[in-house]
């Protein structure tokens, strides 16, 4: 049954003068391995987190979208018939963008009240944006009886990604929205971003997932993300010229082929390509290591992923490097790496049960007492994707 906090139900009723009709729980995601591969048609292996957002909804008959973010203590009301101006970094752009994309897609979204609140850190590389988009989409579709028309969840992931591109100005891949929708308890999602289909990989019951949030966000993040995409496109063009055949994306290169052409690519493009091509191989190998319960192997792959992101893709930062370095010294930690887009945000570690305790103690002692900003330690587990309850 839905275990939404009573206080949120009360707030919704007081704020909007109606009982809630729909409740959605939308998780975040933490990517265990496979970074900056999704927009290169590669492999990723995220889990949906235990942390996420509640989105509570009820219909209204005046054609307005009224939204309150409880955590930000902000609210707004907009006429759904009016065009939505794109706005980078504004939380309401995600909500309004999703409504606009659904309406443009022919889904009958009418006036709706939405209350949003959650326990997922925002802007930390745990997909708060996707959690918000997916939660909003499911709430709007269900409240307006359009849920069935959206068809399968993969379609919903594409629509939410479109909203992020067009209204929040972030040219993200498909990983985040897909993970928020397709997560499953105790399973990692090995997603092939070319076919947009996945296999579920069991996570051994005695493994733990520990997230270490640096709580820093370096300002270059958004510009650098787009620049990395450009670097990858350049690498594809250059490799295609050298090979004399058509290449659609870096997914079309294996390690041996890349090695053969590497010397003829421009240096930066070559490094970016090497990260993506080796990372794809690491994700596939990690899926196997998880299946076999081989924590040591899975951990080695995570450390190698971090080194590649730091040295070849250049999206790490000193805080993340330090946390991964600390984790690597702790007994019972299988592996650790930065997770998400980079330039701050979170690292993720896979540990034994005792290792999780020891890692927390080590981070407090060796990082939090030394660094200007302490790392927030978040224990999580693989959860189900977004869920919806119709209650009214
Ligand atoms: C962000 C994007 C994802 C993905 C990661 C890097 O989280 O939203 O699509 O590209 O960065 O792996």
Instruction: State the pTM of this model.
Output: 0.97
Number of structural domains (the chain) is 1
* Mutate-to-test residue for ligand 1 from 175, 179, 193, highest number of ligand atoms within 8 A of CB: 175
pLDDT at 377: 98
Q: Average the pLDDT over 53-82 and give the result.
A: 97
In this structure, the residues whose C-beta lies within 6 A of any atom of ligand 1 are 35-36, 38-39, 172-173, 175-176, 340-341
CATH number of the CATH domain containing 59 = 3.30.230.10
Q: Using pLDDT thresholds of 50, 70 and 90, give the confidence band for residue 148.
A: confident
User: Is position 254 annotated as part of the catalytic site?
Assistant: no
Q: In which residue are the tokens 């040295």 written?
A: 311
In a domain, 269, yes or no: no
Using a 10 angstrom Cβ sphere, with 0-12 exposed, 13-18 middle and 19 or more buried, the burial of residue 14 is: exposed
> Which comes out higher in pLDDT, residue 244 or 87?
244
- pLDDT of 218 reads 77
Determine the average pLDDT of the residues in 287-312: 98
- Identify the pLDDT of residue 220: 58
Residue 326 scores a pLDDT above 80 = yes
* 75 in any annotated domain: yes
User: Which tens digits make up the pLDDT trace of 125-141?
Assistant: 999 999 999 999 999 99
* Residue 225 maps to a domain: no
pLDDT-based confidence at 63, cuts 50/70/90? Answer: very high
pLDDT at residue 88, as a whole number: 86
* Spacing, Cα 269 to ligand 1 middle (Å): 19
Determine, yes or no, domain membership for 278.
no
* pLDDT at residue 219 in the model: 65
Mutate which of 32, 38, 343 for ligand 1 pocket (most atoms within 8 A of beta carbon): 38
Assess whether pLDDT exceeds 70 at residue 273: yes
Return the residue whose CA atom lies nearest to atom 1 of ligand 1.
341
- What confidence score (pLDDT) does residue 192 get? 98
Q: Give 128 Cα–ligand 1 centroid separation in angstroms.
A: 12
Predicted confidence at residue 191, as pLDDT, reads 98
Average pLDDT over residues 227-253: 97
Distance 61 CA to ligand 1 centre (A): 37
Residue 143 lies inside a defined structural domain of this protein:
yes
**pLDDT at residue 163 tops 80:** yes
The DSSP letter of residue 206 is: T
Q: What is the DSSP string of 20-57?
A: --EEEEEEEEEEEE--S-GGGT-EEEEEEEEEEEEEEE
Structural domain containing residue 90:
6-202+386-390
Q: What is the pLDDT of residue 4?
A: 94
Q: How far is the CA of 197 from the centre of ligand 1 (A)?
A: 17
Point out the least confidently predicted range of 88-97, 105-114, 368-377. 88-97
Give the nearest ligand 1 atom to 39 CA.
10
Q: Does residue 88 lie within any of the structural domains?
A: yes
| pLDDT of 392 over the 80 cut | no
In a domain, residue 86? The reply is: yes
Could you read off the pLDDT of 20-34 as tens digits, one per residue? Answer: 999 999 999 999 999
Distance 234 CA to ligand 1 centre (A): 19
Q: Is residue 127 part of a domain?
A: yes
Report the Cα 73 to chain-centroid distance in Å.
24
Nearest CA to ligand 1 atom 11: 341
How many Å is the Cα radius of gyration of the chain?
A: 21
The catalytic position among 176, 231, 252, 312 is 176
């Amino acid at each position: 049954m839905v275990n939404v906090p009573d206080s949120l139900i009360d707030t919704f009723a007081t704020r909007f003068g109606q009982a809630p009709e729909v409740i959605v729980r939308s998780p975040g995601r933490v990517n265990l391995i496979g970074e900056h591969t999704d927009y290169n048609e590669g492999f990723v292996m995220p889990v949906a987190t235990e942390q996420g957002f509640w989105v509570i909804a009820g219909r209204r008959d005046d054609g307005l979208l009224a939204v309150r973010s409880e955590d930000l203590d902000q609210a707004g009301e907009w006429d759904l018939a009016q065009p939505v101006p794109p706005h980078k970094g504004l939380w309401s752009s995600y909500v309004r963008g999703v409504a606009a994309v659904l309406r443009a897609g022919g889904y009958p979204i009418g006036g709706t009240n939405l209350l949003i609140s959650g326990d997922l850190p925002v802007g930390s590389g745990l997909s708060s944006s996707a959690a918000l988009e997916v939660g909003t989409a499911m709430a709007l579709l269900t409240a307006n009886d359009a849920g069935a028309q959206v068809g399968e969840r993969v379609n919903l992931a594409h629509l939410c990604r479109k909203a992020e591109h067009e209204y929040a100005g972030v040219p993200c891949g498909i990983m985040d929205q897909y993970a928020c929708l397709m997560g499953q308890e105790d399973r990692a999602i090995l997603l092939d971003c070319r076919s947009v289909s996945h296999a579920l990989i069991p996570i051994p019951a005695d493994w733990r997932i520990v997230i270490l949030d640096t709580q820093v966000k370096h300002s270059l993040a958004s510009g650098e993300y787009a620049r990395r995409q450009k670097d990858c496109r350049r690498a594809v063009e250059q490799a295609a010229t050298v090979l004399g055949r058509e290449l659609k994306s870096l997914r079309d290169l294996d390690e041996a082929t890349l090695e053969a052409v590497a010397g003829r690519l421009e240096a930066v493009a070559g490094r970016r390509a090497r990260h993506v091509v080796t990372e794809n191989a690491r994700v596939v190998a990690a899926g196997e290591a998880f299946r076999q319960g081989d924590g040591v192997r899975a951990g080695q792959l995570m450390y190698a992923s971090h080194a590649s992101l730091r040295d070849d893709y250049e999206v790490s930062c000193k805080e993340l490097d330090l946390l991964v370095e600390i984790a690597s010294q702790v007994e019972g930690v299988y592996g650790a790496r930065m997770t998400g887009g980079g330039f701050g945000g979170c690292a993720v570690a896979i540990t034994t049960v005792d290792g999780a305790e020891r890692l927390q103690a080590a981070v407090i002692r060796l990082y939090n007492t030394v660094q200007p900003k302490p790392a927030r330690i978040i224990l999580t587990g693989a959860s189900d994707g977004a869920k919806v309850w119709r209650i009214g």
